[in-house]
A = this chain, B = another copy of it.
Amino acid sequence: MVEYQTELLDRVFAAVADPTRRAILAGLAQKPATITEIARPFPVSLNAVSKHILVLERAGLIIREVAGREHHCRLDPAPLRKASVWLEHYRKFWDLRLDALERHIITRKKREKRSHGRTD
């Protein structure tokens, strides 16, 4: 069995389990920003966003560089890649399922062709 950096995966998955944090990542994917800039679009307090950023930082998803009173944050995608690698192990399962679904659709189409006009 492949060895995973379990604790990192824990933190990464937990970090992206929150919609606000996913939105923060999406924003930073466009361009780096300071805490205040990141917080602007969100309906919660700056403090709340500051905490979210801390969670993302601890998951390794955000790199913070302090410049004077501003904290510049940028995305670090590396942990997302690790998460993706973990998920890929399950790809074969959903591929199988999609194959089955496709076969089912094809079968249904053939049936429809035979019994033309019937809707079941």
Which A residues lie at the B interface, using CB under 8 A? 1, 6, 9-11, 13-14, 16-19, 22, 25-26, 29, 75, 77-78, 80-81, 83-84, 86-91, 93-94, 97
Contacts and interface: CB of A to CB of B under 8 A. Distances in A.
A75 B29 CA distance: 32
Identify whether the interface residues of A are mostly helix, strand, loop, or mixed: helix
Contacts of A14: 13-14, 17
A84 B91 contact: yes
A98 B26 CA distance: 20
Contact of A29 (B11, B29, B88, B93): B93
A80 B84 contact: no
B6 A13 contact: no
